[in-house]
């Protein structure tokens, strides 16, 4: 997909996703991959022969915070969520010959929070990599956006994301409703070049197949929110938000270039 902020905003609102062919430069990709290679098992890494998933990425790779709050990334997210939006979670995925998985059709229904607090409409509590996760009311998810940075090209050969355009407008979908979508619609494969980004709403119905030609398909999954949580709940990534903004502002005053 090509087009400016208005076209991207309209596409995400209508279809639930949009592809931006260029979001990060090669130098940034190489730097991020080097940082991921240096992460230890204690940082929420799952391994199957080689590193293939890292949770709590904003905490494990501090430079990624600056990427999430950099002008090029903000220019993609703010038109959809507003100037006060902020990153709340990041995950690294990789499909390799040793970890060539497939993902069934689903919506992203859980958020990461700092601690468990019982609140109306929040349920299905779980713990992943030592962090509390909960399913919030649908209106919280509607005010979120995921930006998936592709550090490798994703095409028909290496298990790209598949989506059902417009499914995000139907709220939470049960098993029967998901099956109806599968029987009545044709999914769209999201082919994204290296350095590109896929913007998507959490409630968009999506899946991925195993790679036909297994090779790296490294993706940074960044989640952004536009509101605070109620009843004493806090986003897991919220504590570093002000520190991150202070650091970015200080660098901007010094004239540091955030070109990605």
Check if the beta carbon of residue 190 is closer than 8 Å to that of residue 150: no
Express each pLDDT in 140-194 by its tens digit: 999 999 999 999 999 888 889 999 999 999 999 999 999 999 999 999 999 999 9
Query: 70-123 pLDDT, tens per residue?
Result: 889 999 999 999 999 999 999 888 876 666 567 899 999 999 999 999 999 999
pTM for the predicted model, two decimal places: 0.85
CA–CA distance, 177 with 173 (Å, rounded to integer): 6
In this prediction, residue 250 carries a pLDDT of: 35
Q: Can you give the pLDDT at residue 238?
A: 65
Which residues are registered as beta bridge partners of 135?
Answer: 123
Could you tell me the domains of the chain? Answer: 5-251 (2.60.120.620)
Nearest of 136, 140, 145, 138 to residue 13 by alpha carbon: 145
Burial of 150 (0-12, 13-18, 19+ CB in 10 A): buried
Instruction: Name the average pLDDT for the chain.
Output: 84
Q: What's the rounded mean pLDDT across residues 59-66?
A: 80
Between 250 and 45, residue with greater pLDDT: 45
């Amino acid at each position: 997909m090509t087009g400016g902020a208005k076209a991207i905003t309209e596409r995400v609102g209508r279809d639930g996703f949009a592809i931006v062919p260029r979001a990060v430069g090669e130098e940034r990709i190489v730097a991020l991959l080097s940082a991921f290679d240096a992460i230890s098992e204690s940082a929420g890494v799952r391994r199957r022969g080689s590193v293939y998933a890292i949770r709590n990425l904003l905490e494990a790779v501090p430079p990624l915070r600056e990427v999430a709050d950099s002008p090029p990334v903000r220019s993609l997210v703010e038109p959809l969520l507003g100037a006060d939006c902020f990153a709340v979670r990041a995950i690294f995925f990789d499909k390799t010959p040793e970890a060539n998985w497939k993902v069934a059709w689903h919506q992203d229904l859980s958020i990461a929070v700092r601690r468990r607090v019982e609140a109306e409409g929040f349920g299905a509590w779980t713990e992943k990599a030592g962090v509390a996760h909960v399913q919030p009311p649908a209106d919280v998810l509607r005010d979120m956006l995921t930006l998936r940075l592709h550090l490798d090209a994703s095409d028909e050969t290496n298990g790209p994301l598949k989506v059902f355009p417009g499914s995000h407008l139907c709220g939470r979908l049960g098993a029967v409703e998901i099956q109806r979508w599968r029987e009545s619609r044709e999914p769209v494969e999201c082919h994204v070049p290296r350095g590109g980004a896929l913007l998507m709403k959490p409630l968009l119905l999506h899946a991925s197949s195993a790679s036909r030609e297994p090779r790296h398909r490294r993706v940074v999954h960044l989640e952004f929110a536009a509101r605070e949580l109620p009843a004493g709940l806090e986003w897991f990534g919220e504590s570093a938000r002000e520190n991150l903004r202070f650091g970015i502002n200080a660098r901007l005053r010094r004239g540091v270039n955030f070109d990605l």
